[in-house]
Chains A and B, each alone.
Chain A
Amino acid sequence: MAVKLLLCVSADQATAALWQGRHFAGCRRFDNDENGWIAFSNYLRAGRGIPMHIMVDSVDEDYRFETLPHAMGRDRAEMVGRKLKQLYRGTSYYSSSLQERGAGKRKDDRYLFAALTDPELLSPWLRATESNGLPVAGVYPLPMVTTSLIERLRLKHTNLLIVTKNTAGVRQTFFKNLKFRISRLTPLRDATGVADQYYADEISNTRMYLDALTVTHVDDTLQLLILDQDDSLAGLPAAIVRGRPNMQCDLLARADIMSRFGIAATELDASADALHLHLLGEKKPAINFAPIQVTGGFQRYLGRRWLYAASAATLGAAVLWSGVNAFEVLRLQDDMVGLRRQTQEFHAKYQQVTAEFPQAPIAADNLRHTVELAQQVRGSVRTPESMFLVVSRALDASPRIELARIAWHYGRVPSGIGADLTQPGASDQPPLNPGSLVQTGVLRGEVTPFDGDYKAAMRLISAFATRLAADDKVVEVRTLRLPLNVSSDTGLSGSTSASSERGSAQFEIAIVFKAGV
């Protein structure tokens, strides 16, 4: 819950109130003298670290409206800053507020410039504040605090003059179209009929001043709202409207103020500034006079608050996140209990059912896989019989071919014999799968009888190979060795003499069978 210290400073005194939970938690008045400053300092000692909002109710104030070219961002800030320094050279307590944009073609911006022209008024109070380590959040003019009444009371009058009686005097604040225009402070008089007439004359003067400024027209009706928190201005409305037909008065008496603002009687009794302190506690005004040198402590205060809030938010988020995780862990653990129970139930049912099964040495699936594997093995058994049949048929048609050796192999295609058959386009047949099991064979034989006619022997061997290749089961027949190597890549020697003509015509042929044969 936000705690703040509210201070209303006027020429003669200052009123401090502790704001807590949208209400005062105490209100004290201090004279603007040495004793008052000491008492104020003692009062602040207990409130170290509490931000202070200061409201100034003084005649040493200035309000003026200026029209400046429309600008945005840094340009606007620099332009407004220059204007403020130009207008208020003798004080650092000034501020501005953008009121509206002009209706003309240029769409210029209309600003309210305001300043506290006598900053010395605040000095003793600020010294005590600083020495006690209280950050100053802002210094606000009392009329700007009055502005919040428009929203609070839902006022909608075009020409509205709010009259309040404060410690410093009677304050008249005029609003045109619900926007602040002028404010005047009149010193207090004793609460008598003479005082009422005195205030009524002052209000009449204000009306004439407004007419003279053409802020209002003589025929315009000026609506007055008198806030009489101590019921001392009951006769004022009658004194005002006497002989002044264009002025209407509404008076909010003490009881009305208490009921409409929720302010306790004790709070109202504590100070004539209680209503404005209450309004200041509720809402920060748009105009803040305090320069950065004064609000530096408050900036640090805000920074610390932000860091504390960030720390709390971080921890809170982590606790929340961890809580969600912990909740999820508990949910999963709870769910796992159910899963374990279900597992045990299914296991028990399974055991019950399988107790009636025939005794099997291994699991049913392994049983099936083992039998299927045996069937696969049996299905892949091959013998040399296929090759014998193919070779026999070829030999029948080749009586002069005599075999000395038949080698048969069943497995992957051996390197050197038909290894290239795994490549597409190596033969007329589809390429062999490199991992497939095929039958291959190597035949070694000779041409008999051989009379030295290599040409005839080569023809016989070629015819024999062609017969082998003609078989449907054969994919490739390749001659590995011929009786005579006529290749240009190797040397060749021999004799054509009669004694050497009777050599041998040996050859070697490889056969590759189709996959699956």
Chain B
Amino acid sequence: MKLAAKDLAAMKLPFLLLAAAIAVSFVLVRFSADKRDKAEMQHRIQSTTMQDARSRYQRSGEERETILRYLPAYQQLENQGFVGTEQRINWLEGLRMANTQAGLFGVTYQVDARKPLPLIGQSNPMSQHLHNSHMKLSFGLVHEGDLMRFFQALAAQQTGIFIVTGCALDRAGRSESPAPRQANLSAQCDLSWLTVDPGKGKS
């Protein structure tokens, strides 16, 4: 069946009405669907918040146990300088004391700026807050056994937690047997002083 001009003229208004109805329907459905989507999203957020609050309340006994168990150790770490800002003065004091106790001839040090160190304990969320302060040490030794005594003495100071990352020992001279009271070996060591800054917020 072919449409004549007469047919088209007769259909003009109904077609316009249909187009208007489709447009209005689209706007109506779109608007209401948007509102529904937003409401669903807010509901999901609110539901999650409620579940978190309930879970936190239900785990409050567990939380108390955690605080009781770990707070002393945490406070000890604070005292040692592992938690919080760098304790450079304490580190240097520790170096001085360790030098004396190990019977060395003096330690030359160089500390770099603190940098993030997301290396150790990556499965631990707090490793994101771990920082490394690189320290380069130069000192003389009577023999290689002094090196270990020095590190043990430094660790005993409890002025922080450090990791020895490298050491190089060079013979100072070419004598056949080491002299008893002089630096027969020169040591170059790299230390990493580790600190963590967990923030103060209670989440």
Q: Which chain A residues have a beta carbon within 8 Å of chain B's beta carbons? A: 296, 299-300, 303-304, 307-308, 310-312, 314-315, 317-319, 321-322, 325-326, 328-329, 332-333, 335-336, 339-340, 342-343, 346-347, 349-350, 353-354, 357-358, 360-374, 376-378, 380-385, 388, 403-411
Contact = CB atoms under 8 A, between A and B. Distances in A.
Contacts of B49: 339, 343
A95 B77 CA distance: 104
B163 A366 contact: no
Given A370-B77, A377-B121, A409-B166, A361 B200 contact: yes
Contacts of A361: 74, 78, 200
Classify the secondary structure of A's interface with B: helix
17 contacts: A307-B11, A307-B17, A311-B20, A314-B18, A321-B28, A322-B28, A325-B36, A335-B43, A346-B56, A362-B74, A365-B203, A368-B66, A373-B120, A381-B163, A382-B163, A406-B168, A410-B164
B142 interface: no
Contacts of A336: 39, 42-43, 46
A365 to B, nearest CB: 7
A349 B57 contact: yes
Nearest to A307: B14
Interface of B: 1, 6-7, 10-11, 13-15, 17-18, 20-22, 24-26, 28-29, 31-33, 35-36, 39-40, 42-43, 46-47, 49-50, 53-54, 56-57, 60, 63-64, 66-71, 73-74, 77-78, 82-83, 120-121, 124-127, 130, 144, 147-148, 151, 161, 163-171, 194, 196, 198-203
Contacts of B15: 307
Nearest to A408: B167
Nearest to B25: A318
Nearest to B49: A343
B63 A300 contact: no
A133 to B, nearest CB: 10
Given A325-B35, A367-B74, A405-B169, A350 B124 contact: no
A426 B201 CA distance: 49
A335 B68 CA distance: 38
Contacts of B167: 384, 407-408
A373 B124 contact: yes
A308 to B, nearest CB: 6
Q: Identify the interface centre among A326, A339, A385, A388: most chain B CB within 10 Å of its CB.
A: A339
A433 to B, nearest CB: 13
A329 B36 contact: yes
- 4 nearest CB pairs, A to B: A318-B25, A307-B14, A325-B32, A346-B53
B24 A315 contact: yes
Contacts of A407: 166-169
A329 B39 CA distance: 6
Contacts of A374: 73, 77, 82, 161, 196
